[in-house]
Amino acid sequence: MRPATAFLQIALRRAARGTGSSAAFLDRRTAMIPTPDLGAILGVTPWVLVGGLALRAYAPERMTLDVDIMIHTDDEAPVKAAFAAAGYTITGPLTIGSFTTHPADGSAPITVLTSAAPWLPEALAYPTSDPAGLPTMPRSYLLLLKLQAGRTQDLADVQRLLRGTSAADRSAMREIVVQYAADLAEDYDALVMLADLEFGATN
């Protein structure tokens, strides 16, 4: 059993109805955390926000200094060249499929995740716009990434991504989970139940 699955089983046993944050707070959308002009740096190369910053397109903004983006693996070389031309220092890889870019002014670095996932071209072609107008990973695929990561914060983020979504949207998201990570379908179902316990069931 995955550690995340065991955690979710415990959470379901202990969860109480209506324990989530207030609707007024959860409906807030802000873009207070500054981000560099990545469009100017990367030009026509498609990219999307991922990680904690991406949540602000769907839930209240989390106070984080991390800026994480995802690109297709095929674009890694030109993206590195574009950051270098803009005065960034490249370090890494951090893990397989990621590297970090450090701006010359000492501000927060940018983590660039590379992927060749079969669903990524669609996600890059049809991103969601966050409150600052930045391209953000679509909800379904951001949920998939966080479900695969399986850390406690990621599981909490999945609950917020599920809050207020329709039955049709949840069914479509479950189909994506089953298609690309079938072993996580049980975790997805548990998080749906937890989201409804904490934030109220979707009508």
Assess if residue 178 is contained within a domain: yes
Same domain? 65 vs 152: no
| 114 and 126 together in one domain | yes
Structural domain including 146 reads 138-203
Q: Among 105, 137, 169, which residue terminates a domain? A: 137
If one counts the domains in the chain, the total is 2
Does 13 map to a domain? Answer: no
* CB neighbours of residue 24 within 10 Å: 7
* Residue pLDDT tens, the chain, 203 long: 565 566 666 565 555 554 555 555 455 656 567 788 999 999 999 999 998 889 999 988 777 768 999 999 999 999 999 999 999 999 988 777 899 999 998 888 999 999 999 999 999 999 999 999 999 999 999 999 999 998 988 998 999 999 989 999 999 999 999 999 999 999 999 999 988 888 777 65
Q: Are residues 77 and 131 in the same domain?
A: yes
Is residue 63 domain-shared with residue 81, that is, in the same domain? yes
Q: Is residue 32 included in any domain, yes or no?
A: yes
Asked whether residue 33 falls in the same domain as residue 127, the answer is yes
Residue 82: which CATH number?
3.30.460.40
Residues 86-130: tens digit of each pLDDT:
999 999 887 778 999 999 988 889 999 999 999 999 999 999 999
| Residues 70, 111 within the same domain | yes
Predicted TM-score (pTM) of the model is 0.85
Of 82, 113, 137, which residue constitutes the final position of a domain? 137
pLDDT at 86: 96
Q: What is the pLDDT of residue 136?
A: 97
Q: Is the separation of the CB atoms in 136 and 124 below 8 Å?
A: no
Same domain (yes/no): 128, 200 = no
**Tokens at 73, concatenated:** 């693996």
Q: Are residues 129 and 153 in the same domain?
A: no
Same domain? For 86 and 169 the reply is no
Instruction: Please check whether residues 84 and 158 belong to one and the same domain.
Output: no
Task: Tokens for 142, please give them.
Answer: 């951001």
Sheet with 48-50, strands from edge to edge, namely 89-91, 98-102, 110-115, 67-72, 48-50, 135-136, 128-129
* Single residue among 102, 117, 137 that ends a domain in this structure: 137
CA distance 187 to 192: 9
pLDDT for 129: 95
C-alpha span between 120 and 70 (Å, rounded): 9
Give pLDDT, residue 26: 58
Are 43 and 57 part of one and the same domain?
A: yes
Non-local (6+) Cβ contacts of 75 within 8 A are 45, 46, 114
Contact assessment for residue 52 and residue 64, using Cβ atoms and an 8 Å cutoff: yes
